Amino acid sequence: MSDGMLRGVDYEDPIVKFRGERILYTLKKVSGREMQLDPSFLVDTFYIHYLPLPLMSTKSDVPEDKGVMYSLLNSIVSSDLVIKNREYSIANSAVSVALTVSYMQHLIEELEKIKRTSQSQEERDAAEQILNGLMKKRFVRARKRTESQR
Amino acid sequence: MKELNEIYNNIKEAAKYVDAATETDPRLVELIRTLKATRDRIVQLGKESGDEKVESFSKEVLDEIDRLMERVARKLGIYP
């Protein structure tokens, strides 16, 4: 898990890894289903809530295939809702975990709804692209294989 | 201790950001608010720990926050 997008976060630190795992575990429990999410994105969402000043890496440091996720994370940093919630979550890991789980659960539900029901093909494609970006690369490849075999 | 250390490192990173920022950077105003919330939380963490080392380090973190708040305020022209 070394491809996070925040400056100053050590993605190889065992506590950082543990936080990502804990968020994923809670998210699975809350949603009641299996999810193969990219832990580095969960960690980034956690630290956006937790750090006094979360600083994004420069876009040129991010691999090209992560461009969409970079934009998504950037919009989370500047989201009014997140800014308001940070009042309670800064330097508080328990609250940051809870808010990250809630945020991710709603984000995934909303994207899946758009993918299923939107009238616009463009919107459906964008939602799918973001959902794929949220998932582990290994899982996206396996899912695409399964879909092409159908 | 680990939590305090993460916050301390981020405050140091934030200081570099503030030095490089312009006076019109919208994140500076937000940062003042954020630092006040961080300060309150660090005071609470220090008190709750009951550990001398944590209390002592929390004071160091608070000093760093105060210095950064002053730096941001100067940049925004709040202090003459």
B36 at interface of A, judged by CB pairs closer than 8 A? no
pLDDT at position B63 is 96
Query: So what's the pLDDT on residue B5?
Result: 92
pTM exceeds cut of 0.90: no
* pLDDT score, position A144: 57
Give me the residues of chain A with pLDDT under 70, please.
1-2, 137-150
Look at residue A25 in the predicted model and tell me its pLDDT: 94
Tell me whether residues A90 and B6 touch, CB distance under 8 A.
no
Chain B residue numbers touching A53 (CB-CB < 8 A): 10-11, 13-14, 17, 27, 31, 34
Would you give the DSSP letter of residue B21? S
The stretch B7-18 carries a mean pLDDT of: 94
Kindly write down the DSSP assignment for every residue of A37-74, as one continuous string: B-HHHHHHHHHHHHSSS--BPPGGGS-GGGHHHHHHHH
Residue B3: pLDDT band (50, 70, 90) is confident
Among the partner-chain residues A7, A50, A52, the one whose CB lies closest to the CB of B11 is: A52
Roughly how many angstroms between the first and final C-alpha of chain B, as a whole number? 37
**What interhelical angle do A14-31 and A93-117 show, nearest 10?**
50
pLDDT for res A108: 93
Q: Which of A99, A13, A57 is nearest to B6 (CA)?
A: A13
Q: Is B31 on the interface with A (CB under 8 A)?
A: yes
Q: What is the pLDDT of residue B79?
A: 65
Distance CA A59, CA A22 (A): 28
CB A51 within 8 A of CB A69: no
Q: What is the reported pLDDT for A67?
A: 86
Query: B18 or A139: which carries more pLDDT confidence?
Result: B18
Distance from CA of A36 to the nearest CA of B (A): 27
pLDDT at residue number A1 = 53
pLDDT in tens, A2-40: 578 999 899 999 999 999 999 999 999 998 888 889 899
The pLDDT score that the predictor gives to residue A141 is 58
**Does the CB of B72 have a partner CB in chain A at under 8 Å?**
no
Query: Cβ A51–B10 below 8 Å, yes or no?
Result: yes
Smallest CA–CA separation between B33 and chain A, in Å? Answer: 8
> B31 and A91: CB-CB below 8 Å?
no
Residue B24 pLDDT exceeds 60: yes
Q: How far is A139 from chain B (nearest CA, A)?
A: 31
Q: Which two tokens stand for residue A24?
A: 């994923």
